[in-house]
Amino acid sequence: MKMKHIETVFPALAICLAFGCQTSDTAYNSQKPPGSKVSYSTMGSFDRRHAAFNDLVPSDAKIEKLAEGYEWSEGPVWIRDGDYLLFSDVPMNTVYKWKEGEGAKPFLKPSGYTGAKARGGEPGSNGLTVDREGRLVLCQHGDRRVSRLEKNRQFQVLAELYQLRRFNSPNDLAFKSNGDLYFTDPPYGLEGLNNDPAKELRFNGVYRLKPDGEITLLIQDLTFPNGIAFSPDEKALYIAVSDPKRPVIMAYDVQADGKVSGGRVFFDAGPLAPGRKGLPDGLKVDNAGNLFATGPGGVLVISPQGEHLGTINTGEATANCAWGNDGSVLYITADMYLCRVQTKTKGKVP
């Protein structure tokens, strides 16, 4: 989700990767030549509300700015094969690749809208992940689908319709260990949001896509379902709701058949909202079950019991985060920035 609306009009471009991509994007990063030691500027602060926060985020932690100049950065995912990070710039319809010592470069454009008709809004890819084979899977706002990027640089559509109706704009996604893919479908990729005449579904749902292509609607009563993640034992599914009137993180029990039940408010971010930028958006879980969830102020760190332990204050509207490197580095997309924090905990790297 993008917290500030920017109209961006551009022509559809052919798919391209990394070094073959020509782009006029002005994203900036202050990297030195490959192999040299890079010193990054820092931003933000840390709100340490509970002693347990210090067990997760070291006292000397810093929020390092790795790259900047994006319209709205989103959907980071670490790629093991190559040791680099991919992330979306949603309005600019581009996926960027960031690698230590090399900086951020365009990796894929178009990333979420491949149509020929110029449009504004938020057309690009949003949430990103990888499957068991290490292939990139994207939530494509403009094309209103979930797709996989193949080795031939073409998109393989995985999910586009529910009961013969097009999705709104798939936003974020998470694989279960059995290969089932769970994803959210708010209206943020539609230029008119819920009032867009092209909206074909009356609700904003959460779905499961099985490897055989079967799609199941799991949840349809959330106003703006957004970020999505499983607990380490996969017994709980967390959904961030980016509704300014009710900014919450929901928790659901995952049943044996993969469906969910027992929806309940896990964390209410409403009291934190006044005076702080951002709403519940992307989230990840560490190996101990603590949530690192974007929300008012930055990244909220929440215990498995729902207690707010502290906040990684970016000072910006913060979209998403992801574990990288050996699982101890948290990469954060915060408005125009890509940044990171070295933690004392670890999370699962896809």
Note the pLDDT tens digit of each residue in 189-246.
999 999 999 999 999 999 999 999 999 999 999 999 999 999 999 999 999 999 999 9
Query: For residue 12, how many other CB atoms are within 10 A of its CB?
Result: 16
Question: Cβ(167)–Cβ(145) under 8 Å?
Answer: yes
Q: Which regions of the chain are under pLDDT 70?
A: 1-37
Residue 154: strand, helix, or coil: coil
Count helices and strands (H / E) in the chain.
1, 28
CA distance 84 to 9: 29
CA distance 281 to 51: 25
Residue 103: left if φ>0, alpha if ψ -120 to 50, beta else—which one? Answer: left
Closest CA to 312 of 88, 47, 4: 47
182-185 long-range contacts, CB within 8 A, separation 24+ = 182/206, 182/207, 182/208, 182/209, 182/218, 182/228, 182/230, 182/237, 183/127, 183/139, 183/146, 183/159, 183/207, 183/209, 183/228, 184/225, 184/226, 184/227, 184/228, 184/239, 185/225
CA distance 18 to 270: 40
Longest dimension (CA), the chain: 54
CA distance 87 to 96: 5
Q: What is the pLDDT of residues 170-183, one digit of tens each?
A: 999 999 999 999 99
CA distance 148 to 125: 12
pLDDT at 38: 77
Structural domains of the chain ordered from first start: 18-342 (2.120.10.30)
| pTM recorded for the entire structure | 0.91
What does residue 193 show for φ and ψ, rounded to 5 degrees? Answer: 50, -130
CA distance 281 to 271: 16
Question: Cβ(283)–Cβ(249) under 8 Å?
Answer: yes
Question: Cβ(300)–Cβ(293) under 8 Å?
Answer: yes
Residue 19: strand, helix, or coil: helix
What does residue 135 show for φ and ψ, rounded to 5 degrees? Answer: -85, 140
CA distance 69 to 91: 12
